[in-house]
Amino acid sequence: MSDNILNTSIEYLKGVGPLRAEILKKEIQVYTFSDLLYYYPFRYVDKSKFYKVSELNSDLAYVQLKGYIDNVKTIGDKRIIRMTARFRDESGDIELVWFNGFKWLKDKFLYGQQYIIFGKPTLFNGKYNISHPDVELPVDENTDIVFNLQSFYNSSEKLKVKGLDSKGISKLQKNLLTILQGKIIESLSAEVINNLKLISREEALLNIHFPVNHEMLKKAEIRLKFEEFFFIQLKLLKLKIIRTSKYNGHTFSKVGDYFNDFYNKHLPFTLTNAQKKVIKEIRYDIGSGKQMNRLLQGDVGSGKTIVALMCMLIAIDNGYQSCIMAPTEILAKQHFNTISKLLQKTNVTVELLTGSTKKAQRKKLFSELESGELHILIGTHALIEDTVQFKNLGFTVIDEQHRFGVSQRARLWKKNNIPPHVLVMTATPIPRTLAMTLYGDLDISVIDELPPGRKAIKTIHFYDSDRLRVFGFMKKQIQEGRQIYVVYPLINESETLDLKFLMEGYDAIVREFPLPDYAVSIVHGQMKANEKDYEMQRFVKGETNILVATTVIEVGVDVPNASVMVIENAERFGLSQLHQLRGRVGRGADQSYCILMTTYKLTSDGKKRIETMVKTTDGFEIAEADLRLRGPGDIEGTQQSGILDLKLADIVKDEKLLLYSRKVAIEILEKDPQLEKPENRQIAYHLNEMNKEKANWSRIS
């Protein structure tokens, strides 16, 4: 196959050899021809534009000038430390500076010869200079191949030493593209290419490295970005097809007494339309005979728990057991309490299993689990241990998905011959585009409506110097019977420092809010589980007015009477974390407040985060802002996925193209799910090649 040439070791490319190959591998992970081909420029500079010296200003990144060089001088006595020269055109002159590599340059310049120089101007002592400019002779006006857009590649010191600066890499690209001419296989079908008016793959790759003009560069980018998105979508959607065709699921055909009894007699409120819609979606899935793998997104407080519970009741109606896995002991307990309370007057059985469950209790619980007596098991990681054996696990709920690794989820999965239906719940709203890229093979449900009667939380930003006003406000709220959270960041520099910081804050609060008028709880990561629990319970029961804590309370804690969330050093938290924290209040009928305390020294990102929080309570809007500020690579859970290995495409900026590529992928797979038709041969071939490259690609859930 001619495509094999792409797998050739980079060593064998003209201009490389073993030494340079070693450096290319180490420095920029270029092992093969293909790696180099996909090592795209990071910038293009328009070389058809010439500036005049008089036009220079500090805003210009790179400029190209045409003129004369003279006054070459070396500075330094025994050891020459730099070389300077004067560059002039008809509008003025600037200085050129070299700090190394000037030995062979020194006598090279011919006075009276016109040169083209290129570089970044900087202002020094009121005069512009350019250090280490590129110097060239003017291109002969008669040669016809003039690339007016010059590509720039990222290089490194070690590469530069071996002559592989941007220009050197560009030369290698030229050599490579010469060999590859006519050998780059098209990866898309003629139909897709025609419908989208794309240029060919070969043309795109040629133009991404050596653009003929702006227009072709644009076309090359569109073509290659589309391809990146398209094959990711195809891969994910194909996984979904495989999963739903190969993996049979339990069929929960009926809705029986457990569900109906609960719905009619014990449901403490009316479900929101969004909750009803999601239950319907899940009911359809679990009745279909295919295994369900569904991501349930719903903002904090949107009522995901009840949805999960009702679905578990359907499983029980069909003779199956269910479980809920939560990321922390506190959250598992909270779920256990909520669900036991809801099921109090039913004969559904629920148990809790965590790391601190006692041996005797464990034993009892395991035997009930194996006999099938136990309907619902709620717990932490402890659930995935091999000793935990269900009689017939049919439905699994995973809460706060991003805290679990892929492999942990896979282990839960393997507890039966037929895998249980999986509902992954997350309160970290993932922007639609990211969800599509990351979870393209999962179905997605969204609860996009909060239960009625909630008052929007008021969010206010205060500087540390306003602390007395904040204390005053807190006292007023406590007088009205409300409770307050005060949260400190985990800075992670050092646990002892973090703790010191927290304890100082705690001391200040205890001084301001002394006994017997006030009571303050404290919870942090270094306390023993039972101490933590004790302090937490005092707050939950209303015995203390203030809970001082680190982010352990971020997830799950539900105290409806708590109406104020004070976040200290708010600028140190990420947006999604701030949003999670804020979600701890606003659960009761009272007006709730989120107070963001910061220092005066805010970075521009920090400022934007605070502004976003003050402006909106919409989790999805916040997630979008977060994505914009941090980039997808930093969003929790994405690093491990390896899916966002996008070279050109940007899921925020190129959202339209992403949606479009998904649509195209769906259309193709609908007509030809196995990609067997002749017209899709190229697509199938390319997908296969990609899979070979990344054999470790695995299912997300």
Interacting residue ranges for ligand ADP, rule: CB under 6 A: 269-272, 275, 298, 300-306, 427, 451, 558, 587
Tokens linked to 551: 């982010």
Q: Kindly tell me which of 306 and 330 has the beta carbon lying closer to ligand ADP.
A: 306
**At closest approach, how far in Å is the CB of 445 from ligand ADP?**
12
Pick 376 or 664: Cβ nearer ligand ADP: 376
Among residues 92 and 588, whose Cβ is nearest to ligand ADP?
Answer: 588
Shortest Cβ 699–ligand ADP spacing (Å): 25
| Of 290 and 584, CB closest to ligand ADP | 584
- Residue 266 vs residues 208, 260, 358, 366: alpha-carbon distances, Å: 63, 10, 31, 28
Q: Using alpha carbons only, give the angle 116, 118, 122 rounded to the nearest 5 degrees.
A: 130
Residue 151: which of 131, 177, 130 has the closest Cα?
A: 177
Any idea which residue has 């195209």 for tokens? 664
Nearest approach, Cβ of residue 688 and ligand ADP (Å): 41
CA atoms within 13 A on the CB side of 580: 20
Minimum Å gap between C-beta 636 and ligand ADP is: 17
Neighbouring C-beta atoms of residue 1, cutoff 10 Å: 9
CB of 518 to ligand ADP, least distance (A): 26
Is the bond into 516 cis (omega within 30 degrees of 0)? yes
**Token pair listed for 287:** 């009745």
Least Å distance, CB 269 to ligand ADP, is 4
In the bound complex, what is the minimum distance in angstroms from residue 449's beta carbon to ligand ADP? 9
What separation in angstroms does the CA of 207 have from each of 30, 40, 145? 20, 10, 14
CB nearer to ligand ADP: give 303 or 505.
303
Considering the complex, state which of residue 454 and residue 475 has its C-beta at the smaller distance from ligand ADP. 454
Q: Which is nearer to ligand ADP, 151 or 275 (CB)?
A: 275
Nearer to ligand ADP by Cβ, of 228 and 448: the residue is 448
Indicate the residue whose CB is closest to ligand ADP: 303
For residue 297, the minimal CB distance to ligand ADP (Å) is 10
Separation of alpha carbons 364 and 597, rounded Å: 48
Residue 447 beta carbon to ligand ADP: minimum distance, rounded to whole angstroms? 7
- Single-letter amino acid, residue 194: N
Nearer to ligand ADP, 298 or 419 (CB): 298
Going across the sheet that includes 458-463, the strands are: 458-463, 593-598, 562-567, 483-487, 546-549, 520-523
Between residues 432 and 584, which has the closer beta carbon with respect to ligand ADP?
A: 584
Cβ–Cβ < 8 Å for 117, 87? yes
State how far the Cα of 158 lies from the Cα of 316, in Å rounded to an integer.
Answer: 64
Closest to ligand ADP by CB, 269 vs 463, is: 269
For ligand ADP, the closer of residues 124 and 269 by Cβ is: 269
Pseudo-torsion of CA 48, 49, 51, 55, nearest 10°?
A: 180
CB atoms within 10 A of CB 300: 23
Beta partners for 593? 458, 564
Least distance from ligand ADP to the Cβ atom of residue 46, Å: 52
The encoded tokens of residue 494 equal 């050092």
Question: Which helix (H) or strand (E) segment is 396 a member of?
Answer: strand 393-399
Q: What's the rounded Cα separation, in Å, for the pair 301 and 619?
A: 11
**What is the closest distance, in whole angstroms, from the C-beta atom of residue 587 to ligand ADP in the complex?**
6
3-state secondary structure of 661: helix
Task: Closer to ligand ADP by CB, 164 or 559: give it.
Answer: 559
Q: How far apart are CA 430 and CA 295, in angstroms?
A: 11
For ligand ADP, give the closer residue by CB, 324 or 687: 324
**Least distance (Å) between residue 300 CB and ligand ADP:** 4
Nearest approach in angstroms of CB 302 to ligand ADP is 4
Q: Smallest distance, Å, CB 451 to ligand ADP?
A: 3
β-strands 134-136, 114-119: how paired?
antiparallel
- Hey, is 121 helix, strand or coil? strand
HEC assignment per residue over 563-631: EEEEECCHHHCCHHHHHHHHCCCCCCCCCCEEEEEECCCCCHHHHHHHHHHHHCCCHHHHHHHHHHHHC
- Asked if residue 587 lies in contact with residue 558, where contact means CB atoms within 8 angstroms, the answer is yes
Helices 575-582 and 604-615, axial angle in degrees (round to 10): 30
